[in-house]
Amino acid sequence: MKTKLEFLKKSFFVEKSRVKINYSMSSIHYHKSYEIYYLQKGSVKYFIKDKVYNVKKGDLVLINTYDIHRTVYSDCSENDRIVLYFNDNFIRNIKKLEKNYDFLSKIQSSNILRLNPKQQIIIENILIKMLKEYNSNGEEKELYLKIFLSELLMRINRYNRENRYIDKINPMQEKIMEVVTYINNNYSKKQSISFLAKRFSISESYLSHLFKDVTGFTVINYINTVRIKEAQRLLINTNKTITEIANQVGFNTITHFGRVFKKSINTSPSKYRKLNRKRG
């Protein structure tokens, strides 16, 4: 039987950290938890799903479950951030408190919330209370965290109605976002740098450079990640064979699929299916 602490570690996590100059995520990132990222100091470029955001001090980044995302810290200063993760199990009882209120409406529909100075103070205070409680050993720890999370989500929804995030993107970023959107919608088809370069009227070398600069990862790495993400879903939710899944998500051979899958997920497709179906 799982203890409360074990459940909490898997269903809710919050931390404050300082990120060094020119740090970026080591790999493309997605997960089954919701993520809220608050930048206390510095600036960061954040790629989420099919958009790039220039995040500033005091911004909240809101990431839905399974959205591919990555950060690139490119300025010459350190960055302080508070990040929290929670899953559907943790928020289930919160939702029951008010069935007609959608606590997750903002997280599931938008990615950035730009706060004014007064709102920043309120949000920081909630997050600091969360950090303190998360690192405590009080009997009421889980209850307090759910109360604080409820307040945070309601504040996010309210501030979203009051604020409008407007961020200018340059033509370079706009072009790459067109490429990203195309990949997201056509991952099952044959994809290559040469094909994409011709389709979007850009040289192969410039596309490779631009894609890496704007999103933080290579074209091929991104294509493979989109495919593997869909393969994970099919392995858990369908009875299709691994060969059928490999073909459906765009891999020409099951050998190549297995190699890319294991490199990304650290296990084989068959073991991944077996493990996750047992959990389900």
Is the same domain home to 190 and 78?
Answer: no
Q: In the structure encoding, which two tokens stand for residue 27, read together? A: 């790999």
Question: What is residue 226's predicted lDDT score, i.e. its pLDDT?
Answer: 95
- pLDDT confidence of residue 3: 46
Count other Cβ atoms within 10 Å, centred on residue 168.
6
11 and 130 both lie in a single domain: yes
**Does one domain contain both 117 and 188?**
no
pLDDT at residue 25, rounded to an integer: 57
Q: Are residues 154 and 21 in the same domain?
A: yes
Say if CB 224 and CB 80 are below 8 A apart: no
Residues 124 and 156 placed together within one structural domain of the fold: yes
Look at the chain and report how many structural domains it folds into. Answer: 2
Q: Are residues 155 and 188 in the same domain?
A: no
One domain for residues 109 and 243:
no
Cβ atoms 119, 159 nearer than 8 A: yes
- Residues 14 and 73 placed together within one structural domain of the fold: yes
pLDDT of 244 reads: 97
- Do residues 11 and 107 both lie within one domain? yes
Q: For residues 152 and 176, state if they share a domain.
A: no
- 58-61, long-range: CB within 8 Å, 24+ apart, which pairs? 58/114, 58/115, 58/117, 58/120, 59/112, 59/113, 59/114, 59/115, 60/36, 60/112, 60/113, 60/115, 60/123, 60/156, 61/35, 61/36, 61/37, 61/111, 61/112
User: 0.85 cut: is pTM over it?
Assistant: no
- Which residue range forms the structural domain that includes residue 58? 4-162
CATH number of residue 23's parent domain: 2.60.120.810
Block mean pLDDT (10 aa), the chain, length 280: 51 89 62 93 88 91 92 73 92 78 83 93 97 92 94 93 73 91 94 95 95 88 95 95 97 95 94 80
Q: How many residues are present in the chain?
A: 280
Q: Which of 106, 129, 162 is the last residue of a domain?
A: 162
Residue 30 has a pLDDT of: 87
Residue after which a domain boundary falls, among 162, 184, 212: 162
